[in-house]
Amino acid sequence: MNKNQIDHDRLFKELLETFFAEFMQLFFPDAYQAIDFTHLKFLQQEVFTDVTAGERHEVDIIVETRLKEEPGLILVHVEPQSYVQKNFNERMFIYFSRLYEKHRRKILPIAVFSYDQVRNETDIFEQNFSFLDVLRFRFFKLELKKLSWWEYVQRDNPVAAALLSKMGFEQAGSLPYTKKKKYG
């Protein structure tokens, strides 16, 4: 990356580290109600190596926290995805399984799609036979381009303000509530 390019992944990670509760409240209100935000710890980046493919994968955002009504710690895994990737749902499952294998805790997986175009991403990874459903893995998905920026522009939430551009926010002069002042 040259010095003039913006490191969107790093900025998104910093945004969540600063405003994690606001992020959850804005986009996942049911989970927000259940999480105890007095205990938040951002874990170091996890690195997984796929020896068969010779690839290295990094899980950037992992938050250790608690639920209000349940004992023990949980992990919240947030995976920002800014480009189209075939079988992304499978990658989410692999990250989930490896995190579970290492930590043996409940994990809340979240994918945040910040593509510049509207897409329909799946939030399910399944393995089954005609005679047996073996696995049905699901994750929260947030497709920013599908959100109406108009619903978020007036919210008093720093995460909403930071992500408006990925929701297709229009120039201020074309906003429906902008009145042009007449000088005469």
HEC sequence for 53-80 = CCEEEEECEEEEEEECCCCCEEEEEEEE
Handedness of CA 61, 62, 63, 66 (dihedral sign): positive
Domain boundaries, the chain: 8-174
CA-to-CA distance for 167 and 184, rounded, in angstroms? 37
CA-to-CA distance for 66 and 152, rounded, in angstroms? 28
Gap between the terminal Cα atoms of the chain: 50
CA-to-CA distance for 90 and 111, rounded, in angstroms? 12
* Residue 74 token pair: 């949980």
**Overall average pLDDT of the 46-55 stretch:** 68
Average pLDDT, the chain: 86
Read off the pLDDT of residues 115-131 as tens digits, 9 standing for 90 and up.
Answer: 888 899 999 999 999 99
Closest to 42 in 3D by CA, of 13, 71, 11: 13
pLDDT at 4: 46
Q: Which residues pair with 126 in a beta bridge?
A: 136
The residue that leads in pLDDT, 171 or 167, is 167
Closest to 141 in 3D by CA, of 179, 115, 162, 104: 115
**Overall average pLDDT of the 69-90 stretch:** 94
* Residue 82 token pair: 């800014």
Are 43 and 59 contacting, i.e. CB atoms less than 8 angstroms apart? no
Least reliable range by pLDDT among 18-27, 63-72, 174-183 = 174-183
DSSP 36-49: EEEEEEEPPPEEEE
* Residue 60 token pair: 């950037």
* Residue 34 token pair: 């259940």
CA-to-CA distance for 73 and 95, rounded, in angstroms? 18
